[in-house]
Structure 1
Amino acid sequence: MKFEEAKKIMDEKLGDWKIMALATSVDDYPMVRNVSCLFYHDKIYFKTDKNFRKTRQLYENPRVAMCWNGVQVEGIAAIKGLVIEEEGRIFEQLYKKFLWQSYNAYSHEDTEILVEVTPKFVEIWDEDENRNAFQLFLDFDTEQVEYKPYD
C-alpha cells in the first residue's frame, strides 16, 4: 500500500472533526484528556485555555499522542497564539460550524490559544471487507507505510 492510500484511510476515519484523547507528559508524569479537534492542512488543531495545565505541559514537552477509535497519532504540538490571531481564522470558522455548542459556551477570545499538531507517526487498526483485522503504520517523515495483518 502506498503512503497516500493509507493517509486517505486516516483522513476518512477522522473526517472534519473528532473529540480525541490527548496524552501529554512532563517529567514522566503522563496526563490524558479529551480535546475537540479539527483537521485541515494535514494537521490536527484544537484550542485550549492558555492557563491550563496541559498548556504548561505542551510548552515543556511538545511531544503528544492522540487517539480516536483505532487511530493513534504521535506528533509534535506547536502553540500558534490566540485563536483569533490565526490568519484567515479557519479554526474559528470550522469550530463554529462543527462544534457550535462548545464554541458558544467556551470561546474566550483573550485566553483561548490554538494548538497545531503535526503528525509524525500514525497507527490505524481496521478491518477489510471480509472482517480481517489489520494495522497500518504511517511514518510521516519518510512517507512510508507498513500494512500488517492481525490474526
Structure 2
Amino acid sequence: MTMTIEEAKTIMDQKLGDYKIMALASCVDDYPMVRNVSCIFYNDKIYFKTDRKFRKTKQLFQNPRVAMCFNGVQVEGIAENKGLVVEEEGRVFEKKYKEYLWQSYNAYSHEDSEILIEVTPKFVEIWDEDEARNAFQILIDFDTREVEVRPYD
C-alpha cells in the first residue's frame, strides 16, 4: 500500500479533529515528564497554552523536542514559545479555544502569564486498521515528506 503525504495528513487530521486533550512528553537532563494538554490544530501545527511559570514550560525552554499522543496518533516535534496567548496575530488560538474548550477557557484564563506553544510535527506514527480489521502503521516524515505504510501482524 502506498500513500502520499497529503493522504497521510488527511488521515491524521481526521483522527485528531479540531481539538483534543493530548499527552505531552518532554525531557531535560534524562528526567522525562508527561502530562495532558488541551490542543487546538490549525496551520498544520499543534497549539496549546500553558503558564510560563510551570515546570513543563521551563522544560520546553531547555529542550524543545517533544512527543505528543492521542489514541493511536503519536507526534514527535519541536515546541516553540509564541509569546502571550492574547498577543497572537488574529487571536486564532484564543477564539478556537473558547469555541471548543469553553469550560477550560473560562476557568483557566490568565492573560498576563499564559503563553502559546506551537508544536511543529517532524515525525508522526499513526496506528490504524482497514475494513477487514487488519492493523497497519502510517509513518510520516515531515522533513523528507516521505510516508511508509507498514502492515502489523
Aligned length: 151
- In 2, the alpha carbon distance for the partners of 1:148 and 1:76 equals 25
TM-score with structure 2 setting the length: 0.98
Secondary structure of 2:9's partner?
helix
Residue 91 of structure 2 is aligned with which of 89, 112, 116? 89
| Superposition misfits of 4+ residues, deviation over 3 angstroms | none
The CA deviation at 1:99 is 0.1
The CA deviation at 1:40 is 0.1
Secondary structure of 2:57's partner?
helix
Secondary structure of 2:91's partner?
helix
Residue 27 of structure 1 is aligned with which of 26, 29, 38? 29
Equivalences for 1:28-67 in 2 at 5 Å? 28-67=30-69
1:144 maps to 2:146: yes
The CA deviation at 1:51 is 0.3
Which structure 1 segments of 5+ residues have no match?
Answer: none
1:8 maps to 2:10: yes
Q: Deviations over 1:29-74 (max 9, x none)?
A: 0000000000000000000000000000000000000000000000
Secondary structure of 2:59's partner?
helix
- In 2, the alpha carbon distance for the partners of 1:146 and 1:88 equals 36
Secondary structure of 1:44's partner?
strand
- In 1, the alpha carbon distance for the partners of 2:75 and 2:122 equals 7
Percent identity for Structure 1 against Structure 2: 78
Match of 2:134 in 1: 132
Q: Deviations over 1:56-99 (max 9, x none)?
A: 00000000000000000000000000000000000000000000
Which structure 2 segments of 5+ residues have no match?
Answer: none
Return the letter of the residue paired with 1:148.
R
- In 2, the alpha carbon distance for the partners of 1:18 and 1:142 equals 27
TM-score with structure 1 setting the length: 0.99
Match of 1:100 in 2: 102
